[in-house]
Amino acid sequence: MNPTTLFAIPMTLFSGTMLTMLSSHWLLIWAGLEMNMLALIPILMKKTNPRSTEATTKYFLTQTTASMLLMMAILINMTSSGQWTITNMDNPSATSLATLALIMKLGLSPFHFWIPEVTQGIPLTSGMILLTWQKLAPISIMFQLAPLLNPYIILTSTALSILVGGWGGLNQTQLRKIMAYSSISHMGWTTAILMYSPSTMILNLSIYILLTLTTFSMLTIYANHTISSLALLWNKNPLIALAISLTLLSLGGLPPLTGFLPKWIIIQEMMKNNSIITPLFMTIAALLNLYFYMRLIYSTTLTMLPTTNNIKTKWRFESTKQTLLLPTLLILSTFLLPLAPITPILN
């Protein structure tokens, strides 16, 4: 691709999210979301084959529908209140529509069906950008709209997402689909405390992005797409095998790793607000997530596939793939739990 285009497309992606996050006018927020979607399309279609074309089309259709719903909410807000600021949305039909639109953008249940199919059809780095950067803009809108969004819709989709993310990932052997279902589940956890404490939502999102970036970076080194290719990782690079195991344990939310911190804070915040049964079921459903991460760890580090006795160790080549800041990401995604005492700043 032309180097100018190769620079302009990530620049548009970045400025789209920045526009959404920094605007107070609804029209510019919507324009930022559209720029995001448009700029991601050639990134999703980096490798031109029918699979990625289909994935890109599905992504485009669902995101456009969500943008149109959001535009409808904006126009209803405009006709009923006569102003375009984001923080004054009084009309209940406008807020319900906006809630539905943002849920579609994030890929929460029951609008989650596009995420596994789109993530599976695109290269690993594109999937990384799809599951991390694209969550920033809708979450920033939800953060600003937090007291106004319809709590029934939010809680329903939260509960459904955590369940769907857990059960959906159980039957998968392709790693990109597993990461997609993991994303659905984590987005469910993220929106769970939207009504009680939006700052905790930002904490959950940041740690989720950290963990997902780490996982995807390690998967791109040897282009692991399936569980069976992970099972051969111990021979190529035992250090990465160990690191993937630790990161997956952190994704599952086990102490003493970083992934435990957001779940702990979320459960604490929900219980402070007298909600006991919901976090109970959320935690039980998170065990489903942990099960398929454990299956990956089992194949990667805890077992060896049946081989002959004198198996040759592979030659350790230098990695040709660019892994950005992998040691930093690894340390951050496993050892951040001792920073838990700073969480009172979220209130």
Partner 1 sequence: MMYFTFLLSVIFVISFMGFSSKPSPIYGGVGLLVSGGVGCSIVVSLGGSFLGLMVFLVYLGGMMVVFGYTTAMAIEEYPEAWGSNVVVLGALLLGLTMELFVVLWMVCYDEVEVVISFKSMGYWVVFEGEGTGYFHGDSTGVAALYSYGCWLVVVAGWSLFMGVVIVIEVTRGG
For the chain, how far is it from start to end, CA to CA, in angstroms? 47
The backbone region for 274, taken as left when phi is positive above 0, alpha when psi lies in -120 to 50, beta otherwise, is left
Q: How far is the CB of 290 from partner 1 (least distance, A)?
A: 39
Nearer to partner 1, 1 or 342 (CB): 1
Q: How far is the CB of 100 from partner 1 (least distance, A)?
A: 18
What is the footprint of partner 1 within residues 1-30 (CB under 8 A)? 1-2, 5, 8-9, 12, 15, 19, 27-28
Nearer to partner 1, 2 or 309 (CB): 2
Site string for partner 1, 136-175 (x = CB under 8 A): ----------------------------------------
Shortest Cβ 87–partner 1 spacing (Å): 20
| CB-CB contact of 37 with 64 (8 Å) | yes
- 90 C-beta neighbours (distance < 10 Å), count: 10
Residue ranges in 113-132 that form contacts with partner 1 under rule CB under 8 A: none
Enumerate the H helices of 122-150 as residue ranges.
124-132, 136-144
Residue type, 32: G
Contact positions with partner 1 (CB under 8 A) in 26-65:
27-28, 31, 34-35, 38-39, 41-42, 45, 48, 56
CB of 15 to partner 1, least distance (A): 8
Which residue in this structure is represented by tokens 């405009």? Answer: 78
DSSP code string of 279-336? HHHHHHHHHHHHHHHHHHHIIIII------SSPPPPP-PPP-S--TTHHHHHHHHHS-
Identity of the residue, 54 or 110, whose beta carbon is nearer to partner 1 in the bound complex: 54
Q: Does 254 bind partner 1 (CB under 8 A)?
A: no
Q: How far is CA 26 from CA 34, 145, 226, in A?
A: 12, 11, 42
The residues binding partner 1 (CB under 8 A) are 1-2, 5, 8-9, 12, 15, 19, 27-28, 31, 34-35, 38-39, 41-42, 45, 48, 56
